[in-house]
Amino acid sequence: MVQEIVLIGRSNVGKSTLFWELTGTKVRVGKRPGITQYPFKARVGDIFYVDMPGYGFMLKASHADQEKTKDLIVQYFEEHAPEILMAVQVVDASSFLDIADRWEKRGEVPLEIEIWEFLDDMGFDSVLAANKMDRITKADKDLALDLICERLGMLPPWRQWTDKIAPISAKRGDVQALKGIISKKVATKNSPGL
Ligand SMILES: Nc1nc2c(ncn2[C@@H]2O[C@H](COP(=O)(O)OP(=O)(O)OP(=O)(O)O)[C@@H](O)[C@H]2O)c(=O)[nH]1
Ligand SMILES: [Mg+2]
């Protein structure tokens, strides 16, 4: 069976840019959110990578629209559960905390956190790709990653979680941390006894 690695995340966080880095398949990327409309797949070896549409168009999406995309993602994971090897949840590390704060001030659970918990509850192996690290100054990187970990229920420091969180910059082609986690996962799949 061909297994899937699925990229999910809010609109505009860089999923399609990362998809291109991982698969060599160019898909439309854009400055406006909502560029990717349907799940898009590309095969590399015996793995299908899946680029999903983003949830929560940042500025003008209604609550109902956000719920609709969330439902689409949840449904995709439920229907494809047997072939999903791993979920890669992509966030824009440079804006994640501001957005999460805003939601929490409104008394809502940020979508990112809801989806992260959903994946965990469903028993999927998931990794957080903290993208756009190039936008964070060097001195602030560790702190930003620690805070992201904390929000997702992983006790900081983030360096304890290098199998769960991968700081990357898809646009700069700096995705080694994520590729490392993926190769490890694929290797254990191929030799489950190890
Ligand atoms: N600074 C910076 N910009 C990035 C990075 N990765 C992607 N971008 C930019 O972010 C914007 C959105 O990228 P996409 O790859 O289209 O994002 P997406 O998550 O696929 O968006 P949707 O399809 O709308 O869900 C583009 O302008 C990219 O060039 C990164 O690592 N650093
Ligand atoms: Mg896209």
DSSP output for 2-53? -EEEEEE-BTTSSHHHHHHHHHS------SSS----S-EEEEETTEEEEEPP
Q: Which two tokens stand for residue 23?
A: 């698969």
Write down the pLDDT at residue 108.
83
pLDDT tens digit string along 81-91? 999 999 999 99
The residues with which 50 forms a beta bridge, in sequence order, are 6, 41
Task: Find the residues whose C-beta lies inside 6 A of ligand 1.
Answer: 9, 11-17, 29-31, 33-36, 53-54, 131-132, 134-135, 169-171
- Provide the pLDDT for residue 129: 98
pLDDT at 57: 54
Atom of ligand 1 nearest to the CA of 135: 1
Provide the β-strand partners of residue 40: 51
Question: How many angstroms is it from 19 CA to the middle of ligand 2?
Answer: 9
Secondary structure class of 55 (helix, strand, coil) = strand
End-to-end, the C-alpha distance of the chain in Å comes to 20
* All domains in the chain, ordered by first residue: 3-190 (3.40.50.300)
Backbone φ/ψ region at 56: left (φ over 0), alpha (ψ -120 to 50), beta: left
Residue whose CA lies nearest to ligand 1 atom number 7:
14
CA distances for 140 relative to 84, 129, 185, angstroms: 34, 17, 29
179 C-alpha to ligand 1 centroid (Å): 18
Tell me, what's the pLDDT at 34?
A: 59
pTM, rounded to two decimals: 0.91
Atom of ligand 1 nearest to the CA of 32: 24
HSE toward the beta carbon, residue 87, CA cutoff 13 A? 25
- pLDDT of 185: 93
Q: Are 177 and 162 in contact (CB under 8 A)?
A: yes
Low-confidence ranges of the chain (pLDDT < 50): 58-59
